[in-house]
Structure 1
Amino acid sequence: MESDVLFSYPAGDQRRDASPAGGGVVAGDSGSGPPASAPLPVRMRPASLDELVGQEHLLAPGAPLRQLVTGTAPMSVILWGPPGCGKTTIAHLVARATDRRFVAMSALSAGVKDVRAVIDEARRQRRTGGLPTVLFIDEVHRFSKTQQDSLLAAVEDRTVTLLAATTENPHFSVISPLLSRCVLLTLRPLGDEAVRDLLRRAVTDERGLGGSLRLSQPAEDHLVRLAGGDVRKALTALEAAASAATATDTGKIDLRTAEQAIDVAAVRYDRDGDAHYDVTSAFIKSMRGSDVDAALHWLARMLVAGEDARFIARRMVIFASEDVGMADPGALSVATAAAHAVEYVGLPEAQLNLAQAVIHLATAPKSNSTTAALAAAVADVRAGRGGTVPAHLRDSHYSGARRIGHGGGYRYPHDDHRGVVTQQYPPDELAGVDYYRPTEHGAERTVSARLPVLRRIVRGLPPDTRASAGRTGSGSSAGAAEPDPPVPASEAGPVPDDSGSVAAGEVQQ
């Protein structure tokens, strides 16, 4: 028996390729299937398309997936889906077809040289009337742009039919020219009932446990919950529990045995993939929506998955100004203190500091007035609205400044008993423009009451005139159609590294 990291075939029914370094396997009919010593997920891999569970939306008669497996159409396909949803199983079914050569390689170990060797052999086979070649590349998102470029011509002229699998969004991880040459099939996570059916099949099927053990209902529920839609994880956990039950000669897999065999669920979370940004987005939106319990769940999800605690802390510091802002000015201090605790204390103890900050931010009154005010000001600057600094505000500390009028007429606010004086501070074009519009939430209610008085005095308006009735900046909404809402900085991704800060207004465009 020769085996590859992706597939195994009986010796009489498989041919090894001209040894690409990536470990490719060329196969015809896979014969009698994997040996009894193979892992349970491999032994239980469907032997036909009819055994495939959970991708009904792709299995209709004439659907691309069915055409791919049956070989009725030589189309190149990218399979995109989470771990354990059936991508490798589909490749296995394609490999079983007898009317084509099947070459499997992993992007983790293969390089451009290996890909070109397969393509050259496929061209030779086609010239001599040999079988068409299907090239399966697992984890294709790990190929560099150059490696993906090397596939373009062969896929374009159908020298090879490409079957590629990825867990990451191909719109980001696969180059556009290659993506445009392939049919993109999105595989869904398996539902709980599908995972349950496959567990029961594995318990009774001769390829699996063959009915040698019984699986209790609580243990089955635990395995289904543990899997989270990943059937490979469910079957691996079942195999571990079965080994434990066999060792104790109980004849049954109960809940305690299952729990002891599988210590903890591996959280589906890729720090470099979509799940990273999806979970982060859910975390931010839960805090913004004041759902403290959901926010704590997403925090725990990130911590258990091993997310960088500094990343979490940075998101919270941004959130404190972006979504809480002046409604609770102390929120920024809390978030900053949590970020400092992460650096000073470290994990795992700093998890408590992060949790305290999450609770504070989620339950705090919310205001995005700071975000909106800065976005409006930045929009005016980028639109060219502004002008020179008023003469009375210019620097007058150097010799000769007074002679050219710099600083002349400046009024010192501390000389007035109110601490504020009538004086123009913005350039002429922006005089009277309102950027900041406080809400009535939390501590900002006090600011909302005080701001009209300050604007009235500064702008020299009569006591009976509403100071906030001034002109609006580009980002304001008085008397004009509302602009598109800004993209929250705390959700934008990928986010810049700490080595270079980004002003909120720059993220909001």
Structure 2
Amino acid sequence: MQSPLADRLRPRTLAEVCGQQHLLGPGRVFRKAIESGRVPNMIFYGPSGVGKTTVARIIAENSGMRLHKLNGTSAGTGDIKAVMAEIGTFQSRNGLLLYLDEIQYLNKKQQQSLLECMEDGTVTLIASTTENPYFYIYNALLSRATVFEFKPLTPEDVRRGLENALHKLEELDGVRIEAQPEALDALAAACGGDMRKALGSLEFAVAGAAETDGAKRLTTEAVRQVTQRSSQRYDKSDDMHYDCISALQKSIRGSDPDAAVHYLARILEAGDLLSACRRLLVIAAEDVGLAYPQAIPIVKACVDSALQLGLPEARLPLADAAVLMATAPKSNSAHNAILAAEQDLRRGKTGPVPRQLQNKHFDGEDAAQKGQNYLYPHDYPGHWVKQQYLPDALAGVRYYEYGQNKNEQAAKAYWDKIKK
């Protein structure tokens, strides 16, 4: 059985790796440290198909140490113990290097089993993960390793890898391949920075390409047929999900309707309707808030419509909501007020509800002042009368500050006049 093209074309040296020049470029500390022959404990973090496994294998195979490879999706405690059993043996005289792919799938106990040997240097760990290591990897293990982030490849990086792959395919298959430049550009742009995905699509397209005059012709149309929706990097539980949700809110908060509909489209293209609805409801209250309070019921109506319609039509009312809020005035005054009140509660700044606000009409024998003495505001001019509402310990504290927008400033002017 023939192995996938991405595996057959895997780089053998750091110089052959496409992309990651912030780590592998000439003079970079990471590359100089690796080339010095001293391999520290490392964790590679980044999306799939960007070279984490490739770089780890190159380092491991050139380290001179006894190499063990495990995958977190299938490895158990017994597999880790089998590696530890070689400590001190003749085979591990130059040290043991454990390459652990997808480490995020190991549970806490399995990760802890690596700590002692990492601490004393009997085992060097190179681990890779597609999930944020600060969320998924045990803190004690993180403190013994250095995290390096691998970034999605640029279209230029992928294009270079595709050109190299075409030459290799010609050698391996013994057939000439003529690729339209636009076809390679489209393939490089459609893979979402994932070299493995790009090579897989290339292999598929070449296999199905028409052969004329002894050459296979790779066209843009053929590439489009094998890369439909392939550029989308999104999963409802991974970092890209949270990044897109965060970008949607920050784009609306920053009053950029174009970016707002871009991130909304990415979320909906992945079929994640519920997350989009929830986030838009949050934005209406948190970021538009009292500057345009009508946005809250409007966005709620848009969300209700979207949930009734379902995808793909749901994108229309949600786009209305996103653009409306991106172009609306903004205020986070109520958001700040509730946060400030919560902080006082956590610090213990509270107290009994003032007697005039309590829901009772009987005073005990120990009451210093008899009677509720509540002043009913509707009985006074302007429907307001001065009295204490906060507990005694917080009397005079101010949590809410009027926002600098037309709506809240109008309310401020009204109450300044009433309260004088």
Give the TM-score, by structure 2 length: 0.86
After superposition, the C-alpha distances for 1:72-131 in whole angstroms (9 at most, x for unaligned) are 2243322222222211212332454494432222111111111111221x22634x6766
Over 3 Å counting, the alpha-carbon distance change for 1:181 and 1:448 in structure 2 is same
* 2:16 aligned to which of 51, 54, 57: 51
After superposition, the C-alpha distances for 1:441-472 in whole angstroms (9 at most, x for unaligned) are 24334323212134x1xxxxxx4xxxxxxxxx
Structure 1: runs of 5 or more not aligned: 1-34, 457-462, 464-509
* 1:103 aligned to which of 65, 68, 81: 68
* 1:180 aligned to which of 136, 143, 153: 143
Q: Which residue of 2 aligns with 1:392?
A: 356
Out of 423-432 and 196-205, give the one that drifted further. 423-432
Partners of 1:141 and 1:96 lie apart in 2 by 23
C-alpha displacement of 1:244: 2.4
Out of 317-326 and 376-385, give the one that drifted further. 376-385
Alignment of 1:265 onto 2:230: yes
Over 3 Å counting, the alpha-carbon distance change for 1:435 and 1:95 in structure 2 is closer
Equivalent residues, number: 416
Partners of 2:124 and 2:186 lie apart in 1 by 41
Opposite residue 267 of structure 1, the aligned amino acid is: Q
Opposite residue 449 of structure 1, the aligned amino acid is: A
Alignment of 1:155 onto 2:118: yes
C-alpha displacement of 1:136: 1.4
After superposition, the C-alpha distances for 1:335-359 in whole angstroms (9 at most, x for unaligned) are 3334444554444443333222222
Q: Which residue of 1 aligns with 2:416?
A: 452
Over 3 Å counting, the alpha-carbon distance change for 1:129 and 1:323 in structure 2 is closer
Over 3 Å counting, the alpha-carbon distance change for 1:427 and 1:124 in structure 2 is closer
Partners of 2:246 and 2:256 lie apart in 1 by 14
Answer yes or no: is the 8 Å Cα contact 1:101–1:131 preserved in 2. yes
C-alpha displacement of 1:429: 5.3
Answer yes or no: is the 8 Å Cα contact 1:327–1:441 preserved in 2. yes
Over 3 Å counting, the alpha-carbon distance change for 1:390 and 1:94 in structure 2 is closer
Alignment of 1:225 onto 2:189: yes
Alignment of 1:301 onto 2:266: yes
Q: Which residue of 2 aligns with 1:503?
A: none
RMSD: 3.2
* 1:359 aligned to which of 286, 298, 323: 323
C-alpha displacement of 1:297: 0.8
Give the TM-score, by structure 1 length: 0.72
SS across alignment from 2:89: helix
C-alpha displacement of 1:211: 6.5
C-alpha displacement of 1:145: 1.0
Percent of residue pairs bearing the same amino acid type: 40
Q: Which residue of 2 aligns with 1:169?
A: 132
Structure with a larger share of its residues in helix: 2
Partners of 2:398 and 2:87 lie apart in 1 by 69
Out of 340-349 and 313-322, give the one that drifted further. 340-349
C-alpha displacement of 1:298: 0.8
After superposition, the C-alpha distances for 1:25-71 in whole angstroms (9 at most, x for unaligned) are xxxxxxxxxx8x32221122113333122233434469555654x68
Opposite residue 38 of structure 1, the aligned amino acid is: S
Matches within 5 A, 1:16-95: 37-59=2-24, 60=26, 63-65=29-31, 68=34, 72-94=37-59
Over 3 Å counting, the alpha-carbon distance change for 1:162 and 1:398 in structure 2 is same
After superposition, the C-alpha distances for 1:181-238 in whole angstroms (9 at most, x for unaligned) are 3333333332222211111111123456766222212212211111232211221221
SS across alignment from 2:208: helix
Q: Which residue of 2 aligns with 1:490?
A: none
C-alpha displacement of 1:150: 1.5
